[in-house]
Chain A
Amino acid sequence: MNRVARVHDAGLLTTVQDGGRTHALRYGVPQSGAMDRFALAAANLLLGNAPNAAALEITAGGVELELLAPTLFAITGAEVAVTLNGWAVPTWQVVYGGRGMRLALGYRQGDWGAYAYLAVAGGIAVPAVLGSASTYLPGAFGGYAGRKLARGDELHAYPCQRDPAAYVGRAWDVAHRPAYRACPSLRLIAGAHADLFDATTLAQCTNTRYRIAPSSNRMGYRLHSSHALHPARPASIASLGVLPGVIQVPPDGQPILLMADAQTTGGYPIIGVVITADLPLAAQLLPGDQLQFAFTTHTEAVAARAQMQHWLAHAAHLRPPMSAYAVPV
């Protein structure tokens, strides 16, 4: 294991996340993992890592690290201003930083962006807990000692031999990313209990702009609007398995969109489930941001998932550009 960076400013909430853990769901252990799994995979694939290798998930920017070794890295996800020793460096691109350099992430620019992913060649090295490097903060396990990063922490990476010349400057173009934007319209498939709601209520669900409430976090987004959603008839629902993307409707009628740290089971009516391909769009929103819903079909959802797989597969054909990004020294 190689020392790769020291944390000088950990920002609001920076954790180690990977593709998540699914084999302990039956023991009530949430999936966790990156909120934006596409951005995590893109950062890793740019560097030649496995798509679900562990990386830093940086909430709302504001982080500063010192590189402790020459490091190939890539930052994807939220559009934040990134500097290396004060020089602006691009996101969604492989950059080579030298020992002792300061890597700083600013705050989000524009009207969307919540999580930036910083991946390093080889992947961040932390002990696996229940098969994953992901941090589950409520349970205080996984990732970096089960907690968010703090000033002074030292990060390690798995050793890997990568020729910088073959990687520096590899970039992920916009055409192969989800259509990140403010107030995205998230496509959803009718949920297990959609039939408890009448047509007017279902239409209301898709004609409303929801605002993400301040109490939202990695477990889920509480969504507020002027219209509450109520089932047409009362129903008692036995707790059933749920997953990220599920939209639950608690008794107050203000829906909850479950995200990466969602509990494994739930007993509220499920009005719909956001399709996997649109979860990255949801992940790049912060409390106060808005979103909408639109019903779609299973066929369209599978096509969107295939499209996303295709975008990730294109990483195999990435070549460094002729004029590789020059590292300021």
Chain B
Amino acid sequence: MGEAALLVQAQPDPALDPAEAELAANRMVLALADLLDALALPSIETVVPAISSVLIRYDPLQLTSARLHADLRRIVTRLVPVPATPPRVVTVAVRYGGVFGPDLEEVAALLGITPAEVIRLHTAQIYRVLMIGFTPGFAYAGILPPVLHLPRRSTPRTAVPRGSVAIAAGLTGIYPAVLPGGWHLLGHTELELFDPQREPPCLLRPGDGLQFTLHPNSPVGLL
């Protein structure tokens, strides 16, 4: 990735099912990012963990690419993935359907289940925050149960409301600001996802657990 960045890609384990393999790859990616942070090497500027890769930005005048490759090969073989159980779980209360989740009915129809069933499935498990990207504070969390897997909308919206809780491509996320977007909008939260004056600026961080719950004032419920 240019002369000053190296992309380390985690190979998903073919013995696992794809969702399990992706989660396992993500646990390795976060372990590598944490380790490089802890080492705080002056020649490594920063690391950017993604779902199954880490971008390492370094100064090639202080650390040769060959040396970095060799060091990483040694580090990676001894790497212990971060725990499968997130150390911290963030609970997000969601108003589903109605004006809060304009796509809930359509999603239910596309999947051949009821809106209540979509909500039950969406709130049934603790997701893992796999990465933050696309825009400040946008957490990609997963992995959704297979029945909730849908491709992105064919025509993206030009302005998705801030706080929209959405799903697409096996993942779920929350829009931290008014943004264009192609995910299906199930509901809405009032939580502040991103505040640049806060340290760290994000409510959700890579590796966190994310549990959606039904807001008592949700227009659509479990029944």
Q: With the chains together, A26 CA to B194 CA distance in Å? A: 13
Q: With the chains together, A217 CA to B135 CA distance in Å? A: 16
B138 adjacent to chain A (CB < 8 Å): yes
- CB-CB under 8 A from B4, the residues of chain A are 276, 305
Whether A275 lies near B55 (C-beta < 8 A) is no
Q: With the chains together, A239 CA to B51 CA distance in Å? A: 7
Whether B1 lies near A139 (C-beta < 8 A) is no
Q: With the chains together, A298 CA to B194 CA distance in Å? A: 37
User: Which single residue of chain B is at the shortest CB-CB distance from A297?
Assistant: B3
A241 adjacent to chain B (CB < 8 Å): yes
Q: What is the minimal beta-carbon distance from B77 to any residue of chain A, in angstroms?
A: 22
Cβ contacts A22-66/B at 8 Å (1 or 0 each): 111111111000000000000000000000000000000000000
Q: What is the minimal beta-carbon distance from A161 to any residue of chain B, in angstroms?
A: 30
Whether B45 lies near A239 (C-beta < 8 A) is no
Whether A263 lies near B135 (C-beta < 8 A) is yes
User: Which single residue of chain A is at the shortest CB-CB distance from B33?
Assistant: A26
- CB-CB under 8 A from B97, the residues of chain A are none
Whether B196 lies near A26 (C-beta < 8 A) is no
* Contact (A28, B57) CB under 8 Å given A192-B7, A246-B1, A265-B133: no
Q: What is the minimal beta-carbon distance from B151 to any residue of chain A, in angstroms?
A: 11
Q: With the chains together, A139 CA to B197 CA distance in Å? A: 12
A253 adjacent to chain B (CB < 8 Å): no
Secondary structure of the A side of the interface?
mixed
Whether B137 lies near A241 (C-beta < 8 A) is no
B187 adjacent to chain A (CB < 8 Å): no
Q: With the chains together, A240 CA to B201 CA distance in Å? A: 21
Q: With the chains together, A276 CA to B51 CA distance in Å? A: 26
- CB-CB under 8 A from A298, the residues of chain B are 3, 60, 65
User: Which single residue of chain B is at the shortest CB-CB distance from A188?
Assistant: B2
- Select B53's contact among A141, A189, A241, beta carbons within 8 Å: A241
- CB-CB under 8 A from A30, the residues of chain B are 136
- CB-CB under 8 A from B47, the residues of chain A are 26
Whether A139 lies near B134 (C-beta < 8 A) is no
Of listed B50, B137, B177, B199, residue having the most chain A CB within 10 A = B50
- CB-CB under 8 A from A305, the residues of chain B are 3-4, 60-61
Q: With the chains together, A138 CA to B206 CA distance in Å? A: 23
Whether A129 lies near B196 (C-beta < 8 A) is yes
B23 adjacent to chain A (CB < 8 Å): no
Cβ contacts A265-308/B at 8 Å (1 or 0 each): 10000100111100000000000000000000010011001100
Q: What is the minimal beta-carbon distance from A301 to any residue of chain B, in angstroms?
A: 4
B150 adjacent to chain A (CB < 8 Å): no
Whether B136 lies near A245 (C-beta < 8 A) is no
* Contact (A243, B5) CB under 8 Å given A27-B137, A129-B197, A265-B131: yes
* Contact (A130, B1) CB under 8 Å given A27-B136, A27-B137: no
Of listed B46, B51, B200, residue having the most chain A CB within 10 A = B46
- CB-CB under 8 A from A275, the residues of chain B are 2-3
A238 adjacent to chain B (CB < 8 Å): yes
- CB-CB under 8 A from A191, the residues of chain B are 1
Q: What is the minimal beta-carbon distance from A51 to any residue of chain B, in angstroms?
A: 14
Whether B201 lies near A29 (C-beta < 8 A) is yes
- CB-CB under 8 A from B201, the residues of chain A are 24, 27, 29, 130
A204 adjacent to chain B (CB < 8 Å): no
B89 adjacent to chain A (CB < 8 Å): no
Of listed B1, B177, B194, residue having the most chain A CB within 10 A = B1
Cβ contacts B3-16/A at 8 Å (1 or 0 each): 11101010000000
- Select B57's contact among A22, A129, A239, A309, beta carbons within 8 Å: A22
Whether B196 lies near A270 (C-beta < 8 A) is no
User: Which single residue of chain A is at the shortest CB-CB distance from B10?
Assistant: A238
B54 adjacent to chain A (CB < 8 Å): yes
Whether B55 lies near A28 (C-beta < 8 A) is no
Q: With the chains together, A24 CA to B65 CA distance in Å? A: 24
Interface residues of B (CB under 8 A from A): 1-5, 7, 9, 33, 45-55, 57, 60-61, 65, 131-138, 140, 177, 194, 196-197, 199-202, 205-206
Q: Can you list 27 A-B contacts (CB < 8 A)?
A: A26-B46, A26-B48, A26-B206, A27-B132, A27-B137, A27-B200, A28-B133, A28-B137, A29-B136, A129-B196, A130-B199, A192-B7, A239-B133, A241-B7, A241-B48, A242-B1, A243-B55, A263-B133, A263-B134, A263-B135, A264-B48, A264-B133, A265-B134, A275-B3, A276-B3, A301-B3, A309-B61
If A138-B135, A270-B1 are given as contacts, then 17 extra A-B residue pairs at C-beta distance below 8 Å, sorted by A number, are A25-B46, A27-B136, A28-B134, A28-B135, A136-B136, A142-B196, A189-B3, A238-B52, A238-B53, A239-B131, A240-B51, A241-B53, A243-B1, A243-B2, A273-B2, A301-B3, A305-B3
Interface residues of A (CB under 8 A from B): 22-30, 129-130, 136, 138-139, 141-142, 189, 191-192, 238-243, 245-246, 263-265, 270, 273-276, 298, 301-302, 305-306, 309
Q: Which A-B residue pairs are the 7 nearest by beta carbons? A: A241-B55, A265-B133, A241-B48, A301-B3, A273-B2, A141-B196, A22-B46
